[in-house]
């Protein structure tokens, strides 16, 4: 008997339909049916009754389900204890991240992770949020870290990785540089240095400004750049003003190259998310997810 047949049986019982079990297990419905038939052939008894789309346990199925749950529990416990004993978390972990977490958060987190799991090789690719989500969907990376939740695909799961706050930055000699706080309306006609289309940061900024009653005029956007560092440099050079993550500006503010201005009436706090596919992870990816949950980074104070 194949242990996977028991897992398929348990999942089908708990999901209630073959189609739901197939979606959960990332199998086709015929494959689920075939595995269930193989299990019934093994025991020589009918385990499930099909009533329309739903399935229900027979008397024999009740017994099989009860013992299958015990077997699955013991198997999982055995795997956990063996992993703890041998510490064989190894392999390659492919991460994709949007600019903010990729440049400012993950390098430190990966460093700490590698000290605990030295046998895991971590490869990090930085791209915009849409591309990270697409690569995750296509199986090119194991996990993604992005600045906005809700990317396409029902099979994706988002969990909070860290907090962030977007801050308004202006050159030191700018008319707003000495202001303690301004209203969104005072941004009208200011030249804006903006993130590229598809950026999670840009999406959050425009949504939050719109919620506060301010709509960005496309003609205000004098430059679109693909990285936060490039935006910071452009603002330092006097090419415009921008909203960027607080993680990126502490050094420039201390050196007097930038000024931070409070934008009243706009909620600029956000969460950064770890995104994964809804399917079993590799041991290395599972270890990283658990490690990140226990070591959530804190944003810099603006």
- pLDDT tens digits for range 121-161: 999 999 988 899 999 988 899 999 997 777 666 688 999 99
233 is a domain residue = yes
Residues 151 and 285 in one domain: yes
What's the pLDDT at 222? 96
What value does the mean pLDDT take over residues 243-264?
91
Express each pLDDT in 108-117 by its tens digit. Answer: 999 999 998 8
Distance from C-alpha of 159 to C-alpha of 177, rounded to nearest angstrom: 36
| pLDDT score of 302 | 41
The radius of gyration of the chain from alpha carbons, rounded to an integer in Å, stands at 25
The CATH number for 114's domain is 3.40.190.10
Full domain range(s) for residue 181: 164-269
Token pair listed for 85: 């004993």
Residue 216 lies in a domain: yes
Are residue 175 and residue 136 in the same domain, yes or no? no
At residue 101's C-alpha, the angle toward residues 147 and 154, to 5°, is: 40
- Residue ending a domain, among 42, 64, 84, is 84
Q: What's the pLDDT at 51?
A: 87
Q: Please list, in sequence order, all residues whose beta carbon lies within 8 angstroms of the beta carbon of residue 295, skipping any fewer than 6 positions away.
A: 109, 112, 113
* Contact (CB, 8 A) for 128 and 224: no
pLDDT at residue 301 greater than cutoff 50 = no
Q: Is residue 301 part of a domain?
A: no
Tell me how far apart the alpha carbons of residues 115 and 237 are, in angstroms, rounded to a whole number: 39
Both 288 and 145 in a single domain?
yes
Q: Give the pLDDT confidence of 35-66 residue by residue, as tens digits.
A: 999 999 999 999 999 888 899 999 999 999 99
Judged by average pLDDT, the poorest of 8-12, 48-52, 256-260 is 48-52
Give the whole-angstrom CA distance, residue 180 versus residue 177: 8
Nearest-5° Cα angle at 194, 191 to 195: 175
Domain shared by 249 and 133, yes or no: no
Question: Has residue 182 been placed in a domain?
Answer: yes
Q: Same structural domain for residues 202 and 144? A: no
In this structure, the answer to whether residues 140 and 207 fall within a common structural domain is no
For residue 54, the domain's CATH number is: 1.10.10.10
Instruction: Answer yes or no: do 74 and 190 share one domain.
Output: no
Residues 104, 141, single domain; the answer is yes
Backbone torsion region of residue 266, taken as left when φ is above 0, otherwise alpha when ψ lies between -120 and 50, otherwise beta: beta
146 located within any domain: yes
Residue whose pair of structure tokens reads 């041991």 in the numeric block: 283
- Residues paired with residue 121 on neighbouring β-strands, in sequence order: 92
Terminal-residue alpha carbon distance, the chain: 60
Question: Under a CB-based contact definition with an 8 Å cutoff, are residues 243 and 71 in contact?
Answer: no
Domain count, the chain: 3
Are 146 and 289 members of one domain?
A: yes
This model's pTM is above 0.75:
no
Residue 79's pLDDT is 75
φ/ψ of 123, rounded to 5, equals: -120, 120
């Amino acid at each position: 008997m194949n242990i996977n047949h028991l897992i398929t049986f348990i999942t089908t019982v708990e999901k209630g339909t073959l189609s739901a079990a197939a979606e959960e297990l990332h199998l086709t419905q015929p494959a689920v049916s075939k595995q269930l038939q193989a299990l019934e052939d093994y025991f020589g008894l009918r385990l499930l009754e099909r009533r329309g789309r739903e399935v229900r346990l027979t008397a024999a199925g009740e017994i099989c389900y009860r013992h299958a749950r015990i077997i699955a529990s013991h198997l999982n416990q055995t795997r956990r204890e063996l992993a703890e004993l041998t510490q064989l978390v190894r392999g390659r972990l492919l991460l994709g991240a949007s600019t903010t977490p990729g440049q400012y958060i993950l390098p430190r987190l990966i460093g700490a992770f590698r000290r605990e799991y030295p046998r895991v090789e971590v490869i990090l690719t930085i791209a915009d949020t849409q591309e990270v989500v697409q690569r995750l969907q296509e199986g090119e990376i194991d996990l993604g870290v992005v600045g906005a939740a809700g990317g396409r695909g029902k099979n994706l799961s988002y969990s909070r990785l860290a907090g962030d706050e977007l801050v308004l930055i202006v050159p030191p000699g700018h008319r707003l540089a000495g202001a303690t706080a301004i209203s969104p309306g005072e941004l009208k006609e200011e030249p804006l240095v903006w993130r590229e289309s598809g950026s999670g940061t840009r999406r959050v900024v425009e949504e939050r400004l719109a919620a506060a009653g301010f709509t960005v005029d496309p003609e205000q956007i004098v430059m679109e750049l693909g990285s936060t560092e490039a935006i910071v440099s452009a603002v330092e050079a006097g090419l415009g003003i921008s909203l960027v993550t607080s993680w990126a500006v502490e050094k420039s503010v201390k050196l007097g190259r930038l000024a931070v201005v409070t934008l009243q009436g706009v909620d600029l706090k956000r969460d950064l998310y770890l995104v994964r596919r809804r399917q079993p992870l590799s041991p290395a990816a599972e270890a990283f997810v658990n490690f990140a949950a226990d070591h959530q980074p804190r944003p810099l104070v603006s």
